[in-house]
Structure 1
Amino acid sequence: MFNCKLVGCEHVFRNVHSYVQHTKLHSNVPNYQYQCGVPDCSWRCRKHTGLQIHMYRQHRSNPQTAGSTLPDTSALPTNAPLKCLVEVCAFKCSTLASLIGHLKKHISGGLETRCPFRDCDCTFTNVSSFASHICRKHRSVEDSVLNDVVLDRSIATEPLPGTSQSYSEPAEEHNEPQMPLVVDENLFFQNLTLFYLKMQSKLLLPATTIQTIIDGFQSAHELGLSNSLNILNEKLKELGIPQATISSIIEEMNREDLLSLYNRERLNTDAKRKAAFKESFNYVHPVPLLLGNDDDDKECFAQYIPMHETLVTLFKNESLREQYTMTRSQPSADAVYQDVKDGEGFQRNPVLKADPSSLGLILYQDAFEVVNPLGSGKKKHKVLAVYLTLTDILPYNRSSIDQMQLVLLCREQDFKYFGVNKVFAPLIEDLKILEQRGILTSDGNVLKGSLVAIAGDNLGSHSIGGFLENFSRSIWFCRYCEVCRDEFLANPILCGTKRTAQSYACNLQEQKTTATDSVCGIKFDSPFNQLSHFHVCQPGLPPCLGHDLFEGVIAYDLPLYIRHLVEENHFTYLQLNRCKNQFRYEGNDGKDKPADLSPSSNKLSGHAVQNWCFLRLLPLMVGDRIKDPCENEVWLIILQLREIVGLICAPVITEGQVAYLKVLIEEYIVTRTRLFPIAPLRPKHHYLCHYPSLIIHFGPLIRLWTLRFESKHTFFKQCARKLHNFRNLCKTLAERHQLLQAYLSVGNLFPPLVQAEKGTCFHVEDYNDRIRASVASCPFQLQSAVACNCVTVKGTDYRRGMYVLLQNTDDGLFMGKIMLIIVEHNLVIFVSEKHTFVKLCDTGVYCDQGVIQDKYVCIKHEDLLDYYPLSAYNVYDQSLIALHHSFPEAV
């Protein structure tokens, strides 16, 4: 029996063919993975063809053999067995057919595999390419002498020549009787509607284009159906069936054709399709918010998506309810900050503290250009967007843009004209109701909630917080303390009196009394202060690492230090750029290669993650060129900045590390001021001084950085560019987005916990002695495991050859080099070669000291010291690793 594993689908099938055909009806479900129908099998993939191959190969009762055109060595001497080329594999056989078939399995599992024949250096990652190569290049005797590595010399000493004969290789043919699958009409209609909704919301095709596609395919379908019915008509005539009966059958088939039935009636126009989308799926209507008339006496609207309806709709999704339950079962350790929930701001919130089932809300606001016009069109289509996410979603899933909900869209010029109070009025009212009465979910539960933070860049945060927005000239530039510019310049590490709700109110009262524009940097009372349990000075406006750190402190300070090193003749700009461009980036670093550094530029030109990557890998690029690295103060301050960034970006950080970070930041700013007194400090250097206290309040700041929210803008930019409709831009964008959320709500809002695209069934006897020994000592029961060379766990890619952190000791870091990955359902085990790494004080990177014993270790993904996989770089004839971020001392 084969069970459909999609949540909500309970179909059961008796044979492989019926199950494989049934899964096609789910092909348009968002984030759908084709899973093996056998209950105990953990195999899954994203493509239907992959499922088809797996099911027929692994779970078909009557496999057949078919002819092939490869060289035959079936008559091998018994004293000349063959062995696999792959180091970790212990497979042996006596025929070339078996060896070729086995190597194909390695290739299917994602492992690059060499050709087994002598003097052939070809490698393959595609099975068909490998089979074609063997057939074309190694059919004759003179071209088919096997590589010495393939011959098991422990038993045989004679080389094995190939022959030009043919042989039979096991092959899988779909020989089961393919009976027509009985199609569920509701499932068919849902799949067809999802396909049209996918074109409109995910692929962002205009309605006219979608209509053209539907009409074209419907015409082609009708022609194909007509041809099939004519053939059926002739066959039935040959069987002697009366013409009246034949006509009746054909008429009924025409009438019951599902595609024509829906395309010609229920889904034949754009209006009907939209009505079907809204009726069949969870669609939340945008509400136009009349702001008033502008200077041209034109009515201006913002688009507001009712937050209560959004939350109720979210909790109809099974995957979000699972996340909500899992966040409440996550253990928290004392003096360790892992998420927003560990911060003091969340812990002290009266609503969240009184009722642990309450929701924690995080808002994000930002203004962005949906197009990039020049001249008079500049800022014409700039839009202010507000997004919503929940602290009740696991941190690694919170970075997924699919779960981020749209709250508000408003043209920026309207926002500035009508003011923050007018635009945010309905949102404030909904937040008040959520604090006081809560929402009623579809399962009858009442959930209250409270606003935890409003993320954004400095300009946006000051704009909605009521603070001055001129950072370069304003005397008061900090939203966290009352420090003026003169005090900051006189004592850069000074933090002024902390802003509180009481001091904020006093400053507002003084402003009214004195009738001035601002007092202590405060212009007006933020509308969000109307909430009972939120205030912008709690603090409630977290910093953004991307803007403050990577595009601020690093972007301006690092060029300053590099210019000094160039002047000291450690290297030149040409040498630096050459080293950077010729550097062989590994793993995730290859996605964010740093931009070139210009001698005339005072700022790094790359984006935030590029600047981060540049700072991390700089010691590997030019570390060998620094003279007296342990004595050069400028080089040491670069290493200190790397350490500060590593701590700030850590997803898990302890109280002791926060205290150490505070000391490091103060030392850094004092040293920078002393070494470069002419280069002025910026307000972002002052914000850096607040980071330790902000980590205690908000938890790890990497959990609130805005770059993932900014990725959400991409949808609206693509939507505007593809639709070319700017008449009522906010309405168009809001409706398209809500259609997209309706589409996503049908499936899983989050990608699967574990994704192993390529793999083979794990049989421990197929592997070498070290893997066998490590698995034998492993306490896990592996009944239906899959062995693979790459896997994605919680959105992070792991590949064979990468290193994972195992343990931190006085002797150094123990890291495991991944040799094999074993996956069983959501359990991921790394079979690793254990290495010792020690930190080099002159570069701040870790150096490989060699393998610890000649054996492998098995470790679960959950037991890693840090989740992030690292790549080793061969530099200076050493294997070096630059950490991505700091790891916790103890959890």
Structure 2
Amino acid sequence: MDDTIGLFTSIQGDILSSLESKIKDEHIDLNDIPTLQRDFLINIWSDLRNPEVFARHCNDLGMVQPKTIYLSDYSSFQYVPILDTLKHFFSHRDVWMAMAENNVAEKTGISDITGALVVKAETIKKHCLNEILAPLIKDIQTFQTEGIVVQNHVRMTGDNHIFGSVATISADNLGAHQLGGLRMCFSSGRICRFCMCMYSDIKNKCKEADFVLRTPAVHSMHVKAVAQDGSLTASYGVARDCVFNVLPGFSTVTAFPPDLMHDCLEGVVPKFLQSIFRYLHIEGICSIALINERLKKFKFGKTEQRNKPRPLPGNVVLSSGKVSLSASETLCLFRVLPFVIGDIVPTCDEAWRLYVLMSNIMEIILAPSLHADVLDKLKILIEEFYSKFTKFAPDLIKPKLHFLLHYPRLIQMYGPLRHLWCMRFESFHRKIKSIARNCQNFKNICLTVTKRIQALKCYEQCNESCLTDDFASFISKPTKMNLLPREVEEYLQCDMGIDADANLLLVSQLVENGVTYGVDDIFLLNFFDDKPMFVKIVDIVMSGCLGQKSVIFHMKCTVVIAVI
């Protein structure tokens, strides 16, 4: 009960105050909140001094209770049983509907990410991963062999047996090598989990064909050899067997895809931007002070406001300097750079041509969907960029640039890598770090963090809809058909078949499948003859009752004739 009281106090301080202020500031009517979530809030407020009742509410709403796992030296960590989590997840009807429509990926968001293991770093250093990951792997094996029994909410034909396993594991390079049993050093020896590349090769070889690729069969031979002779670790780049290899069909070589966020947005792109800024400074074309001044004056759109890059440090042009930005800030800076300094850099400049080449690569890599024919073009672009960049800035060549050589083949294997990157997981991790920093717990931080995260998941998923709502609107006001622009009125009546006296709402912002659309936002709609068409949202009109809503975007289109 002490844990429940502590959890209750944290919820009271961390969630209720922010919820109450948000409801007052935005004049939210409790009747507009889904039933289960409204009951959740009302019960919390009515039982503010009763943590026992609060704990009962959490259990009734399906909160998965974490388990404390003790190790040999009496240290412990927290484990949230994944089988219970999966049963709770599949108890929602909208999950089944999304599976039937094959759009689960489009409807999931950060609120659908949950924690499984919370352990201190020092505990991992003292104990092997096999011991810490044992309960997780045991549950995965059960999920593979026995499955879980859940009710089918679509066909309503009784219970269904669901089986599953691990397809891929998304992690940064250090984490992937640690989990995969590979060497955790990227400054010497074998540095790549996809091939047998040596650190000394990254400045000399610029094609994937120049390297011997790792295969599951060869990797298995390397693991057996290292188990017999530990000195072979340096020769093969393998330290031990992967703990997940006990799962049928799992292979270290194929189960750890590259992470686009850490490789590109926190690796290749920052180093490339540093080389560009250094070149512009040395050539006298543009100074860091001028770039910062123009960035300060640049009008970022609403969608870029939260990712607006911070001012660049003056030492970024030095060999010891670096571009210290987050992944989203780096991407924003990379994309707006032509609009910031494009007018003062000659279009035929060597560095600018290199930027255009890198821009073409990034647009393909970041695409949510790709045609197979584009991969041949991507391979040529990457090899060309690699060859030129090693000459342009040889001191900035790092292993992450080498990983880029494997991307065309790996995209063909895994699909668009954007769907496997760590961006959303890092956002979830930031929540965990924020809780750990603010709770001021010095006794059992793992238990505190796990309890609070599970309470948050309980609230986020206590609604009948577990996934992202199809339509989640923000501030809105009622309007009439005759008050809308004429072209919108004609479209609503003639094309949509909406009555002239229908109830309509003008919405300032709207979230659909995790994407936020707002008035005055600009989006890239399509390409016509290789020219981009941009649209600006003028009005967002919503029609219909809850559950049968129609959304109409009133937009203005612009086709760009000349592109830098």
Shift in alpha-carbon separation, 1:524–1:763, aligned structure 2, 3 A:
same
Residue 499 of structure 1: how far off its partner (Å):
1.7
Deviation at residue 280 of structure 1 after TM alignment: 2.4
Equivalent residue for 2:95, pick from 309, 320, 323 = 323
- Checking the alignment, whether the CA contact within 8 Å between 2:274 and 2:323 is kept in structure 1 is yes
Secondary structure at 2:119's aligned position in 1? strand
Deviation (angstroms), 1:777? 5.1
Task: Check the 8 A contact 2:308/2:332 in 1, yes or no.
Answer: yes
Task: Return the alpha-carbon distance in structure 2 between the equivalents of residues 803 and 721 of structure 1.
Answer: 37
Quick one: distance in 2 between partners of 1:811 and 1:468?
A: 45
Which structure has greater helix proportion?
2
Q: Where does residue 801 of structure 1 map in the other structure?
A: 520
1:414 partner letter: T
Partner of 1:482: 196
Change (3 A) 1:470 1:194: same
Confirm or deny that 1:273 pairs with 2:53. Answer: yes
Match of 1:405 in 2: 114
Asked if the contact 1:559–1:604 (Cα under 8 Å) also holds between the matched residues in 2, the reply is: yes
Equivalent runs, 1:300-449 vs 2, <5 Å: 300-316=75-91, 318=92, 321-330=93-102, 394-400=104-110, 402-442=111-151, 444-449=159-164
Structure 1 contact 801–819 (Cα < 8 Å) conserved? yes
Matched length: 524
Distance in 1 separating the partners of 2:78 and 2:400? 34
Aligned 8 A contact 2:94 2:466 in 1 = no
Q: Does 1:286 align with 2:56?
A: no
Q: Does 1:729 align with 2:445?
A: yes
**Residue number in structure 2 paired with 1:549:** 264
Distance in 1 between the 2:45 and 2:416 partners?
40
Give how far 1:491 is off.
Answer: 1.0
Give the letter aligned to residue 282 of structure 1: G
Question: 1:691–1:430: structure 2 CA closer, same or farther, 3 Å change rule?
Answer: same
The whole-number CA distance in structure 2 between the counterparts of 1:811 and 1:464 is: 43
- Amino acid corresponding to residue 291 of structure 1 in structure 2: L
Are 1:766 and 2:541 an aligned pair? no
Q: Of residues 390, 402, 422 in structure 2, which corresponds to 1:706?
A: 422
- Indicate if the aligned counterparts of 2:108 and 2:513 stay in contact, CA closer than 8 A: no
Find the residue that maps to 2:533 and give its secondary structure: strand
On the 8 A contact 1:563/1:599 being kept in 2, the answer is no
For 1:830 and 1:718, the matched residues in 2 are separated by 37
Matches within 5 A, 1:502-517: 502-516=217-231
For residues 321-345 of structure 1, give each alpha carbon's deviation from its aligned partner in whole angstroms, at most 9, with x where no partner exists.
Answer: 3134323323xxxxxxxxxxxxxxx
**Which amino acid counterpart does residue 459 of structure 2 have in structure 1?**
Y
Query: What residue is the counterpart of 2:349 in the other structure?
Result: 632
8 Å CA contact 2:40–2:459 kept in 1: the answer is: no
Gap change, CA 1:568 and 1:641, over 3 Å in 2: same
Counterpart contact for 1:438–1:446, Cα < 8 Å:
yes
Describe the shift of the 1:712–1:802 C-alpha distance in structure 2 as closer, same or farther (beyond 3 A): closer
- Asked if 1:659 is matched to 2:371, the reply is no
Q: Which has the higher strand share?
A: 1
The match for 1:603 is 322
Question: What is the alpha-carbon distance in structure 2 between the residues aligned to residue 808 and residue 787 of structure 1?
Answer: 29
Select the residue among 528, 546, 561 that pairs with 1:838: 561
The runs of 5 or more residues in structure 1 that have no matched partner are 1-27, 32-44, 53-183, 198-209, 215-266, 294-298, 331-392, 844-891
Would you say the 8 A contact 1:570–1:626 is kept in 2?
Answer: yes
Larger of the two Rg values belongs to structure: 1
Query: How far apart are residue 761 of structure 1 and its match?
Result: 4.0
Is the contact made by 1:760 and 1:788 (CA closer than 8 Å) also made in structure 2?
yes
Cα offset for 1:542?
A: 1.9
Q: 1:303 to 1:767 in 2, by over 3 A?
A: closer
Equivalent-residue separation in structure 1 for 2:415 and 2:46 (angstroms): 42
CA contact (8 A) 1:434 1:448 kept: yes
Give the Cα separation in 1 of the matches to 2:383 and 2:247: 35
> Which of 767-776 and 830-839 deviates more?
767-776
Whole-Å Cα distance in 1 between the matches of residues 353 and 105 of structure 2? Answer: 34
Separation (CA, whole Å) in 2 of partners of 1:618 and 1:577: 11
**Aligned partners of 2:527, 2:261: CA distance in 1, in Å?**
29
Q: Do the aligned partners of residues 558 and 780 (structure 1) sit closer, same or farther apart at CA in structure 2, a change above 3 Å counting?
A: farther
On the 8 A contact 1:194/1:743 being kept in 2, the answer is no
Residue 524 of structure 2 corresponds to residue 749 of structure 1:
no
Deviations 1:115-168 (A, max 9, x none): xxxxxxxxxxxxxxxxxxxxxxxxxxxxxxxxxxxxxxxxxxxxxxxxxxxxxx
Residue in structure 2 matched with residue 530 of structure 1 by the alignment: 246
Partner of residue 23, structure 2: none
Partner Cα distance (1:506, 1:187) in 2: 54
- The answer to whether the aligner puts 1:690 opposite 2:406 as a matched pair is yes
* Residue equivalent to 1:810: 529
The answer to whether 1:670 aligns with 2:418 is: no
Using CA pairs under 8 Å that are at least 6 residues apart, name the structure with larger relative contact order, 1 or 2: 2
Instruction: State the partner residue of 2:9.
Output: none
Contact persistence 1:46–1:757 (CA under 8 A): no
Specify the SS of the correspondent of 1:449: coil
What is the CA–CA distance in structure 2 between the aligned matches of 1:811 and 1:681, rounded to whole Å? 33
Report the Cα offset of residue 189 of structure 1.
Answer: 8.1
Instruction: Give the TM-score taking structure 2 as reference length.
Output: 0.85
Could you tell me how far 1:51 is from its partner in structure 2?
A: 6.1
- Give me the identity figure in percent: 24
Question: How many Å separate the matches in 1 of 2:507 and 2:478?
Answer: 9
